[in-house]
Structure 1
């Protein structure tokens, strides 16, 4: 393990997407903010009373706290930690549903999305705020315990190798966003928008969403229309990373190489729900631009934008056929040349 001086960055707040949502109504949005899953959650609700808002906030915080405590990768007290330290476990309902969907995405993505990437996450330690630069031998040892094909699940009973560890960071925010969406739909008929650190889903109105520029802080790369009920998620190499010898090492690991995925710097996915959009943004990022755009064009439920770098660090983009109908292409072409 090499010890070194580095610059470490965490982009807090809205992370992957800078939000530019507008409603053509006179009623002012009420906003709920809190921190969970190591990111900022923002819920905007339009046209509700203070009493309704407090009830919505109480429900949102309760739903969030339950899932956050269960899936915290770095807490020894979480359900996930207990699963990771065992070879057999009986899962709670939400953890069971999340793991089954994550394993399905392992199959869909042909291994680009892998929930068993935990040994690599721990090795690099980027998400914990004290990143390390492992050598090739350490990476190979960790990779021996990565691979969702090693997992067996029957109902909500799971069996796995002792040293296999789940990291559900690529699906947890999306699943929680969908839980919050369903909770708010049951509580109000007013428009609302949920933003879980860049994983977004709204209802009651089409929204205009702005995508953050991956290399210029505060700049908008492009805008698109997010239809009511749909969700959007973004994965970017600017969320958590460190710089060593002028090279960027970020938190999105390629489960096949044990290293940060290379070539792509930002992926934005629109889907029918936040869970699949979240998984797809990670999977496509790992796939790379060429394979990723083929995957999106083949899908009839996902659209996306891929921003990638050439050897001179210049930005380029690829857009799925469906995304071209939603995106403000002129702005994108002006920014990415």
Structure 2
């Protein structure tokens, strides 16, 4: 499975109330090649940190066994062998056996040799073409062969094919399950792990998870659905907001997710979110459901105990299993606050009368650079709009770890205090959400203020502010004329904020 960056966001910012209840949140980067969020319920901060250390130790240990990116991992060494029954660790044996089970259960929709198809498409992309029919046939034939033979009694694995293999997110699901158990064994009463968008919840923990709408382009667009889970895993696979060998696949108008049965991109499903009792099942089915037809997925889900799903198809259908609504947060279906959403009672307005032209929107793209620093902490970021008098009319994003750090965003905090005195409302509880890992993010402004009312047409300043523990501080301003004439601007940024682009355009 390839999990998109923003497909599932755990609602896990550590508020003051959470800390009083004994819940702490930690963030880490470069864990099995992705970002990791750890939320721990414990009796004290030292106990929570002990559980955090246990989680990281388990990820490191299993990475030395299962990582396909480490040349010195057990898997990488084993992959170089051929037709030799090699004694392997219990962890590697379990993952290979799990792949065999799910490959059979999905009729080949989940297969570790998908890497062979990806390699073919990368090569074709480098040559400015798409793979030929003959190349696709040869690749499929190779992929459909058995990849290994397992001997349970001797716990050996023999590699019997030369096809490239990748354990990918299947292994990540396995490791996350073990890491969550390690936290509980270390004394935590509850734990939530969000590894690249896949959420594992164990023990005395209830977690609210927003499922991103795959048709939404911006980080602060409405979420598709919101679920609350206990002792469950939520995994998502999707064909949006990310691509692999995009140049070649774009010719076919398809996604980056490849169907192992055809070696072609599968574009009929935009996203698949699965809730299951264990991480292996959730991860395997989220991947498979993005390849299989919805009818195939429904039949497989019915045969698999404890599984529910939400599938969004390319033609706009939202397909929920019969048990999905048991997890939905009441009153949130059909429009959710992914970040900040204007008040629902706002009256629609027409162009003219000196107001913002509703046919236009501002799309803002910003980059949080990856910084090579052992003490790296994600930056706190605020993005807002000021009018000609420098009064803050709309906050588009507020990414913090907890409210205690809001004053570190010096200008946003000062401006918001002024706005709060004027309006008598505290929007930080509505706007703030968890910090983001390094990467590219898109935000949207629809020309409405914090109350959901249309602003006047005219000049406004876009402000982006970033502050990081053990790091630097940066703020950028850009004034644009929002009067119904398209306009673009770019800011080069710096260490804390990379390139920023603004595009005022017709919707």
Alpha-carbon offset, residue 68 of structure 1:
2.2
Contact 1:143 1:255 survives alignment (8 Å): yes
Instruction: Note closer, same or farther for the CA distance 1:291–1:161 as it changes in structure 2 (3 Å cut).
Output: same
Aligned to 1:152: 149
Alignment of 1:128-277 (within 5 A): 133-147=130-144, 149-155=146-152, 156-203=155-202, 204-216=204-216, 217-218=218-219, 219=221, 220-227=223-230, 229-238=231-240, 240-242=242-244, 243-244=246-247, 245=250, 249-277=254-282
Instruction: Note closer, same or farther for the CA distance 1:163–1:246 as it changes in structure 2 (3 Å cut).
Output: closer
- Which ranges in structure 2 are unaligned for 5 or more consecutive residues? 337-507
Aligned to 1:5: none
Which has the larger displacement, 235-244 or 256-265?
235-244
Aligned to 2:103: 106
What TM-score do the two structures reach when normalised by structure 2?
0.57
SS of equivalent to 1:35: strand
What TM-score do the two structures reach when normalised by structure 1?
0.83
Aligned length: 318
SS of equivalent to 1:324: helix
Instruction: Note closer, same or farther for the CA distance 1:325–1:158 as it changes in structure 2 (3 Å cut).
Output: same
Alpha-carbon offset, residue 328 of structure 1:
4.9
Deviation sequence 1:249-287 (CA, Å, 0-9, x none): 544221101122220010111111111110111111111
| Greater C-alpha Rg | 2
SS of equivalent to 1:241: coil
User: Over aligned residue pairs, what C-alpha RMSD do you find?
Assistant: 3.0
Aligned to 2:319: 318
Contact 1:17 1:212 survives alignment (8 Å): yes
1:33 aligns with 2:28: yes
Among candidates 300, 307, 312, match of residue 302 of structure 1: 307
- Which ranges in structure 1 are unaligned for 5 or more consecutive residues? 1-9
Contact 1:11 1:238 survives alignment (8 Å): no
Which structure: greater helix fraction? 1
Alpha-carbon offset, residue 225 of structure 1:
1.7
Contact 2:42 2:188 survives alignment (8 Å): no
